[in-house]
Amino acid sequence: MDAMTADRPRPDLWRFDGRGSDFFGVALVNLLLTVVTLGIYRFWGKTLVRRYLWSNSLFAGEPLEYTGTGLEKLIGAVLALLLFSVPFFILSFVAGIMLQTIPLAAAGLLLVLYPGLIWLLGIALYRSRRYMFSRTAWRGVRGGMAGNGVAYGGRFLKLGLLQFVTLGIATPFVTTRLWNALMNEAMFGSIEVTAAAEWRRLQGRFMIGWVAGFIAYAALIGLAVSIMPLPGRAPPVDPIAEATMIGQIYGAALLLGIVVGLAMLSYLAALQRELWGSLRVGDLHMEMDLRGRDLLGFWLVNIVLIVFSFGVGIIMMPYRIYSFYARRVRVTGSLDVEALRQSSLSAPRQGDGLADAFDIAAF
C-alpha cells in the first residue's frame, strides 16, 4: 500500500534518458565560464555535468540524484594541494638538489617518494569513488564506501609493482583484483555491493593483445635504432632530414598505438563485460552488453568529433563515455525496497580533491 508499484521488477530496471543536445548546452556554458574564471569554475562545472547525467539515469523509473556541490570539490582540491602537492613539490625539489651533493640520500628519498606517489594515486582513486557514491542517492537513500582508501592504496602499489615486473602480463589479474577490492567496499544504503571479477576468463584475450604489442614494440625499437644517430654517427644537420627522422619515429609510435589498440579491443570489451557482469547489489545483477567492434566505433566517432570540431568536441566526452556504457548496462533481479534502509556510513565532507589533482575522473 505504501510502497509504489515501481517496486515490482520491470524489464527496463535501468535506463539512461540523456540527450546529447541537452548536455551540449550544459557543457558549453561550463567551458565558457571555466575559461573566464581561469579554471576555478571547473569544480562547479563538473558538478553540473554529474547532476545532468545522474538525473537522466533512471532506476525502476526513478532518477538518481547527485547531491555533491562545487564548493565541496573546490575545498577538496585546496586541501589536496596543501596536504599533498606542496609537500611533494618541496621534497622532489630537495631531492633534485641532494642528487648532486649527497646522491645516496637523494636516491633513498626518491625511493620513498615515487612509490609514495603511486600509493597516493590509489588512495585518490578510492576516495574519488567514495565521494561519488556518497553523493549519489535514489529515493533519498545514499551510497557509500566502508573504508578510507589507505589499505586500497597499499594494494594499488603492490599490484602495480606486480604489473611492472611481469611486463604487463598480470594486467587482467591486477585490474580485476583492484575492481573487486574497490567495489566490495561499496554500499547502496544498507545493501552491500559485491564484485567477483575473474582474471582467468580474460587472460587469453589479453595475451593476444600483449603479444601483438610486444612484436610491434620490438619493431619500433628496431626502426628507431636503424634511423637514429648512434653515438658514433653524426646527427643530421639538415633540418628536413631531421624532421623526416622525427616524423618517422612519431609515425611509427602512432602506428604501434593503433596496432596494440586494435589487438586489445576484444580484451577491453571482455574486461568490461567481466567487471560489470560480476557485480551484485543485493539481489540485483548487472550485465554489460559490449563487443570489441562497439568500442572501435565509439572511439573512431570520438576522434572524428574532436578533430573536426578543432578540439571543442572534447567537452562532450563525459556525456559520450557515460552514455556509451550506461546504455549498455542491463540490470536484472529484484530489489526489496522495504529492506533498503538509509546508509549508516558517514559521508566525506570534502570533494575528491586528490583525484582532481591527478585528473582521473572521466565524468
Partner 1 sequence: MDLPTPSTSPPSEARLHDGRDARAHIVSLTWENGLLHLRGAEHDEKLSPALLRRGLATRAGLTLHRTDAPDWRLLLPAGSDFGHDLAQHGSWRPWQRGLAVAGTGVAIAALAGIVWTGDALAGRLAPLIPHAVTAPIGKQLVSGMGKACSGKAGLTALAGLVTRLAPAGEIREPLNLTVIDSATVNAAALPGGEVVIFRGLIDEAAGPGEVAGVLAHELGHVARAHVNKGLIRQLGLSLVTGGSDAAGLVNLALLLRATRADEAEADGEAIRRLSRAGWATAPLADFFDRQRRQPGRTTGVLAGIDDYAASHPPDAERAARFRAASVASPVSVLDAAGWQALRSVCGARRKPSA
- Take residue 280 and report the three cell numbers written for it: 551484485
Query: Which helix (DSSP H) or strand (DSSP E) does residue 130 occupy?
Result: helix 103-134
Whole-number minimum distance, CB 118 to partner 1, in Å? 17
C-alpha cell at 142: 545514499
Q: Kindly tell me which residue out of 121, 216, 252, 357 binds partner 1, with binding defined by CB under 8 A.
A: 357
Alpha carbon separation from 14 to 45, 62, 129, 295 (Å, rounded): 26, 9, 20, 21
Residue 259 contacts partner 1 per CB under 8 A: no
Confirm or reject binding of residue 27 to partner 1 (CB under 8 A). Answer: no
Q: Which of 329, 301, 330, 302 is nearest to 315 (CA)?
A: 302
Q: Is 243 in the site for partner 1 (CB under 8 A)?
A: yes
Using rule CB under 8 A, residue 4 touches partner 1:
yes
Q: What is the DSSP letter of 18?
A: -
Q: Coil, strand or helix: which one is 63?
A: strand
Does 164 bind partner 1 (CB under 8 A)? Our answer is no
* Sole window of 123-131, 140-148, 222-230, 290-298 interacting with partner 1 (rule: CB under 8 A): 140-148
Please report, as residue ranges, which positions from 174 to 213 form the binding site for partner 1 (by CB under 8 A). 189
C-alpha cell at 349: 565532507
The reply on whether position 22 binds partner 1 by CB under 8 A is no
> Residue 42 Cβ, how far from partner 1 at the closest point, in Å?
7
Residue 136 DSSP SS3 = strand
Which residues lie below 8 Å from residue 303, measured CB to CB, with a gap of 6+?
A: none
Bridge partners of 329, per DSSP, are 288
Per CB under 8 A, does 139 bind partner 1?
yes
Is 237 near partner 1 (CB under 8 A)?
Answer: yes
The answer to whether 363 and 310 have CB atoms below 8 angstroms apart is no
323 binds partner 1 (CB under 8 A): no
Q: Which stretch binds partner 1 (CB under 8 A): 36-44, 177-185, 285-293, 320-328?
A: 36-44
Interface positions, 262-301, toward partner 1 (CB under 8 A): none
Question: What one-character DSSP code corresponds to residue 146?
Answer: S
Q: Does 311 bind partner 1 (CB under 8 A)?
A: no
Quote the least distance from Cβ 266 to partner 1, whole Å: 36
Using alpha carbons only, give the angle 251, 256, 258 rounded to the nearest 5 degrees: 95
Q: Binding mask 78-117 vs partner 1 (x if CB under 8 A, - otherwise)?
A: ---x---xx--xx--x--xx--xx----------------
| Contact residues for 74 (Cβ-Cβ < 8 A; gap 6+) | 40, 43, 351
- Using left for φ > 0, alpha for ψ between -120 and 50, and beta otherwise, residue 51 falls in alpha
d(CA 154, CA 173): 16
Quick one: which of 10, 19, 293, 341 contacts partner 1 (CB under 8 A)?
341
Applying CB under 8 A, the span of 62-70, 158-166, 316-324, 325-333 interacting with partner 1 comes to 62-70
**Cβ closer to partner 1: 295 or 357?**
357
Alpha-carbon distances of 211 from 126, 291, 292, rounded to whole Å: 31, 21, 18
- Beta carbon nearer to partner 1, 10 or 293: 10
Phi, psi (degrees; rounded to nearest 5) at 58: -110, 125
Q: Does 251 bind partner 1 (CB under 8 A)?
A: no
Candidate residues 201, 337, 361, 363; the one interacting with partner 1 per rule CB under 8 A: 337
- Quick one: 224 or 340, whose CB is closer to partner 1? 340
Euclidean distance between CA atoms 127 and 321, whole angstroms = 21
Locate 285 and state its grid cell.
545483477
Count of chain residues binding partner 1 (CB under 8 A): 47
40 binds partner 1 (CB under 8 A): yes
| Nearest residue (CB) to partner 1, 77 versus 329 | 77
Binding site for partner 1 (CB under 8 A): 1-4, 6, 34, 38-40, 42, 55, 63, 65, 67, 69, 77, 81, 85-86, 89-90, 93, 96-97, 100-101, 137-142, 189, 237, 239, 242-243, 246, 335, 337-338, 340-342, 356-357, 359
